Structure 1
Amino acid sequence: MSSKDNNQDWRLFHEEMADVKPLQHNRVAARKPPPPPRPLQREQDERQVMDELMDPPDPAEIETGEELLYFREGLQRRVRRQLRRGQFPPTAWLDLHGMTSLQARRAVAEFLQRCRKERHRCVRIIHGKGKRSSNHGPVLKRKVDYWLRQRDEVLAFCSALPSDGGTGAAYVLLRLER
């Protein structure tokens, strides 16, 4: 390459660069900083807690340890929930207040047999809360729990809603005779 060609190249280069303004710094423009991280899961959990506080849970979904609760295997979850919510209105009831254990056992057996024959689907047994029992707790309540579990015609039972006696009574779902 001759010096003449070299000079011509420089001249062309300078002509092309005549309108270019030199940079005032040698750094690249920084991008906008990302937003600070947010704890999305914690925010979601806190919203859920607030929603639950504003909408209290269904009393049928809360267990206090005093409830009677038994479901025969294979019973649908929907039926369980309906029974606990009192959505099967009891069509017959038995009150065991003032009975001895022996009297109560006979009364329960006869009552369940009669109800099954009369095709009652859901019944209520009032066993009491055992407030007048000694320090051993509610006698009839524990025995009713045991007796009902032994009966083939009993599909499920649970403590009643407060309006029907609460933990002093039980809804009993019966298998109907064919």
Structure 2
Amino acid sequence: MSGWQNGRRRSRTLNPDERALWKYVTRDIERLHAPPPPAAPDAPKPVETASPPAEMPASTAGKAAPAVRPEPAPAPSAPPLAPMEPKLRRRLSRGVHEVEARIDLHGLTQAAAHHRLHSFLIGAQHAGYGVVLVITGKGSGEAGFSFDGGRGVLRRVVPQWLAEPALRSVVIGFETAARGHGGEGALYVRIRRARGYQP
């Protein structure tokens, strides 16, 4: 039988007419297994970019950091009051050492007495005096009382004024005067030498 050889069908090349006929017959036939679609190329990996710096709030942008103010240096403490040397007191009591100036606060109000005392002590320092006498009055049976309070007010408040920090740069110390200078109604006040003072 033609077309078979040794039990196997012999392949034959179709002529042009046969190929055209075969193509016409198989035009509506679909393949059972469609060829797999070509693989899509690998997508490029995203390039990592540095994140932009965070923006400063509008309220702080363009403003310099607040300056740190240094703490003020503590004010120097006032020197303590010093007692009068016994030798100087004896010399004052005997009249060997005279007081260099004196002020009498009899009959003044506290406000007027305070003002006059402060001015007197500053002037005594500028004059280079070492010891002055402040007369307050005993406040008992005499005119040594203030007009704004009871008797003996100046005797009580003048020592407080002399101990004030505002006068510590002027006053070294003070104590009750000897009897010849008024006793309990007066005070010896030692004056601090002013800086740069030249006699």
Runs of 4+ in 1 over 6 A off after TM superposition: none
Name the structure 1 match of 2:182: 165
Which residue does the alignment assign to 1:116? Answer: 125
Matching residue's letter, 1:149: A
Higher relative contact order (CA 8 A, sep 6+): 1
Aligned positions, number: 105
* Contact 2:81 2:163 survives alignment (8 Å): no
CA 1:162–1:74 in structure 2 vs 1: closer, same or farther (change >3 Å)? closer
Fraction of identical pairs, as percent: 33
Corresponding position of 2:159: 145
**CA 1:90–1:137: 2 relative to 1, 3 Å:** same
Q: Over residues 83-108 of structure 1, what are the superposed CA-to-partner deviations in whole Å (9 max), with x where a residue is unaligned? A: 44353421000000111111100010
Aligned partner (choices 109, 114, 137) of residue 128 of structure 1: 137
Counterpart of 2:132, as a letter, is V
Please say if residues 84 and 158 of structure 1, whose CA atoms lie closer than 8 Å, have aligned partners that are also in contact.
no
Which amino acid in 2 is paired with 1:118? A
Secondary structure, counterpart of 1:110 in structure 2: helix
Whether the aligned pair in 2 keeps the contact of 1:85 and 1:161 (CA below 8 Å) is no
- What's the offset of the Cα at 1:136? 5.8
| Secondary structure of the structure 1 residue equivalent to 2:172 | strand
Where does the alignment leave 5 or more consecutive residues of structure 1 unmatched?
A: 1-71
Superposed displacement of residue 142, structure 1: 1.1
What is the Cα deviation at residue 138 of structure 1?
Answer: 1.6
Deviations 1:5-61 (A, max 9, x none): xxxxxxxxxxxxxxxxxxxxxxxxxxxxxxxxxxxxxxxxxxxxxxxxxxxxxxxxx
Is contact 1:86-1:161 (8 Å) kept?
no
User: Are residues 74 and 125 of structure 1, via their aligned partners in 2, closer, same or farther at CA, if it must alter by over 3 Å?
Assistant: closer
User: Please, which of 77, 81, 85 is the counterpart of residue 80 of structure 1?
Assistant: 85
Q: Whole-Å Cα distance in 2 between the matches of residues 94 and 110 of structure 1?
A: 11
Q: TM-score, normalised by structure 1?
A: 0.53
**Any conservation in 1 of the 2:101–2:124 contact (CA below 8 Å)?**
yes
Higher helix share: 1
Rounded to whole Å, the distance in 2 between the matches of 1:171 and 1:160 is 5
For structure 2, the 5+ residue unaligned runs are 1-78
Root-mean-square deviation (CA, aligned residues, Å) is 2.4
